[in-house]
Amino acid sequence: MEGEQAPRTGTLDIEYRTGPGFKAPYKDHRVRIVINSNTSQHWTYNVMGYLNGEFEPDRYILIGNHRDAWGLGSVDPTSGTACLLELSRVFGKLKQEGWRPRRTIIFGSWGAEEFGLIGSVEYTEEFYMNLVERAVAYLNIDIAVAGSYVLRVSGSPHLANVALDSAKTVRDPSAAFDDKTTLYNTMNVRLTSPGNNSNKNSFREIPMVLGGSDYYGFVFGVGVPTISAFYSYNFYDHWRSFYPLYHTSYETFRLMDELIDPGFKTHQAVAQIFGEMLRRLGDEYILPIDVVAYADYIQRQFDDFKSLNISKEITNHGFSFDYLEGAITNFSIAASNFNDRLKHIDKERVLDVRKVNDQMALLDRAFLDREGLPRLNLQQRIQRHVLFAPTNEHPFPGLYTAMKIEDEELRWQSVDKQLSVLTFTIESAASTLLDVVSW
């Protein structure tokens, strides 16, 4: 081919170039590609399993994996499917032996994820009223194992401690470590940025999920907090947008059995950490949710937004962040006071425990805006969460998107509105953490 040298090359003894066109003697040649696609309708199904809670059967901990794949899918999603099936077997065996969780655990095998998250989103839409009142958390196992280097966790900031504390209980499967090394120990070493080795707690600030898996309907549609995790390769030394064989026909059983996870010990470790998270969320008397971590996350978002150039544009246009900053401060105070009350709660008063548990479980719902965030075109889905957006990693996605509107008059109208919506929503969310008779 003609053109510039390709930035990445293969191992064949040829020149890798980007085109356009061909070199002599193939200069006048053309490539004809024939694609035959059959458009048809097919049924797809969600397969659900329920382990009823003993004391709070109307509070749900959900865990799910999609079972459809592009091709054979030994990584995506079958590594996660294997873990989900093993978890359902183990929890079923515990039930047979007489144990039941405090809250109901719901296992979901989603259909048609690769076609647009169809199964899980339809589930959250059909059972919206049940979930918005009763769901505590959703754990997502899409890919479980894409490498053998380190566990990567993403999710809601107030569930980060659940994932990281659970990682302290599971032995790292790598033969490079001794029997006392846990997933948490490995994350502490391998997820600390090479340029930031002095800060061994930096990995505790787990990133929020975006919109590419079955947590979408739960987080962005219903306001249910989530955790997603998988074992990956070394991103620092071998950076790719994702694992190289993603969605290819090379995702075979042999790939997993001989190359990625011989002996399937990494699968076992992933299943164990999800099992521990399920146990903690499903059975602990007081939910292990950290509302102060949520307050810290919002403060970091504010600091990050203030460092952007568009923040200076907003203030130069006459807007002030004082009310927003005040709302964030009020949320932090409310979260801190809530934690103090939690430490001194009378555990004998069952309804008092139920009350604070509901306040923690329902917190994310308070950040959903009924009208939705601004859209740059009608093809974009309506997004309702004022802090997280599935296609926008920037802080305060509504305000950020408003600044991207081309029409100047509409842009500043939208900025005015989104600044008000953000301030109001955070202030309102703070009120949900106050004593239920004192707000």
Question: Is residue 180 classed as helix, strand or coil in its secondary structure?
Answer: coil
Strand bridging mode 135-140 / 226-232 = parallel
* Phi-psi domain of 266 (left: phi exceeds 0; alpha: psi -120 through 50; beta: other): alpha
Q: Going by C-beta distance under 8 Å and a sequence separation of 6 or more, which residues neighbour residue 174?
A: 148, 181, 186
Q: Going by C-beta distance under 8 Å and a sequence separation of 6 or more, which residues neighbour residue 389?
A: 211, 220, 373, 383, 397, 398, 401
- Burial of residue 416 (CB within 10 Å: 0-12, 13-18, 19+) is middle
Cα(303)–Cα(195) distance, rounded to whole angstroms?
21
Token pair of 300 as six digits: 């970091």
Please count the CA atoms within 13 angstroms of the CA of 126 that sit on its side-chain side. Answer: 7
Which residues in 256-280 are b (16+ Cβ under 10 Å) and which e? Answer: beeebbeebbbbbbbbbbbbbbbbb
Contact present, 367 and 338 (Cβ < 8 Å): no
Contact present, 117 and 216 (Cβ < 8 Å): yes
3-state SS string over 218-230? Answer: HHHHHCCCEEEEE
| Rg, the chain, Cα only | 24
Is 320 one of the annotated active-site residues of the chain? Answer: yes
Is 113 one of the annotated active-site residues of the chain? Answer: yes
Phi, psi angles (nearest 5°) of residue 333: -65, -45
- Sign of the CA dihedral 10, 16, 18, 20? negative
Q: Of the residues 158, 214, 385, 414, which is catalytic?
A: 385
Q: Angle at Cα 309 formed by Cα 306 and Cα 310, nearest 5°?
A: 80
Alpha helices in 23-144 (DSSP H): 78-96, 118-126, 128-134
What does the DSSP 8-state code read for residue 257? Answer: I
Q: Of the residues 202, 307, 320, 336, which is catalytic?
A: 320
Q: Of the residues 114, 358, 369, 427, which is catalytic?
A: 358
What does the DSSP 8-state code read for residue 263? Answer: G
Number of residues assigned to the chain: 439
Q: Of the residues 113, 142, 276, 290, which is catalytic?
A: 113
Contact present, 398 and 374 (Cβ < 8 Å): yes
Cα 106 off chain centre by: 18
* Positions marked catalytic: 113, 320, 358, 385
